[in-house]
Chain A
């Protein structure tokens, strides 16, 4: 069974989607873990400010998550558009 060019392109785009998602998830994972750990330390030291700290933590995590979201968008483009 001969392999045509379009199939190679499809296989490459699927492989690229998997690589983009897998590698792109490393950074946000580490970053969100660090933010959560520091927020836990801060809440342990100063429990009265827990509300403010949780709010700031969520915003910081969502910002550090954005690179992971970009890789998700790239992976979806590779899956459905290419």
Chain B
């Protein structure tokens, strides 16, 4: 129970400010990135008409998310943004599954990771909106029903970032803490593997999917 809420930080003083690095989270994120790169390389290596195991898995990811993107956006935009959506889902899924391994944790149980993903989705959604509709129609979208609804629309857009990132962070971190507390109470007998299966595998997959779908929906709302 002592390691509950303990974060190992590297604090670097720089011109009177203090830069804080969460070393464990950085290491876990790099593990996820390298794992994804290895997965991509192995899935691509022996390409054939009859796909092997890893190629099948890769095709599954890409087909599913291409169809989802095509449903939400149109065909031309889907060709452009389906790789982003697919990569986002695979990154978040691997992140959430990393907590299953001993001595590792999820990078998404740190608010910095989820908030940066949320801000990335926000910036991309507005970039796509400006690019597809033009700057005039984009700004006009804020004054939509009546002109004095503008502050509410701006706050609504900003609160999307907060809600999407806190949802993922809260789910993953809450699961972490519940698993830790129940393991402590039951002396790590019987119950923890099932809890890990539920919270890390099931909730992790659902939340990664929800994060990806919401990013896609935010892009689609800006385009329409």
Contact = CB atoms under 8 A, between A and B. Distances in A.
A54 B35 CA distance: 30
A72 B167 CA distance: 10
Contacts of B154: none
Interface in A39-82: 55, 58-59, 62-63, 65-66, 69-70, 72-73, 76, 80
Contacts of A70: 166, 170
B16 interface: no
Contacts of B173: 76
Given A59-B213, A59-B214, A73 B5 contact: no
A80 B174 contact: no
Q: Among the interface residues A58, A62, A66, which one has the most CB atoms of the partner chain B within 10 A?
A: A62
Interface residues of B, number: 18
**Interface SS of chain A:** helix
A80 B5 contact: yes
Contact of A62 (B4, B166, B169, B210): B210
A66 B214 contact: no
B123 interface: no
Contact of B170 (A55, A58, A63, A69): A69
B213 A69 contact: no
A76 B176 CA distance: 12
A80 to B, nearest CB: 5
A76 B181 CA distance: 13
A80 B170 contact: no
B113 interface: no
A76 B163 CA distance: 17
Interface in B167-199: 167, 169-171, 173-174, 177
B206 interface: yes
A5 to B, nearest CB: 23
Contacts of B207: 62
A69 B167 contact: yes
Nearest to B169: A73
A33 to B, nearest CB: 17
A30 B207 CA distance: 20
A68 to B, nearest CB: 8
Nearest to B178: A72
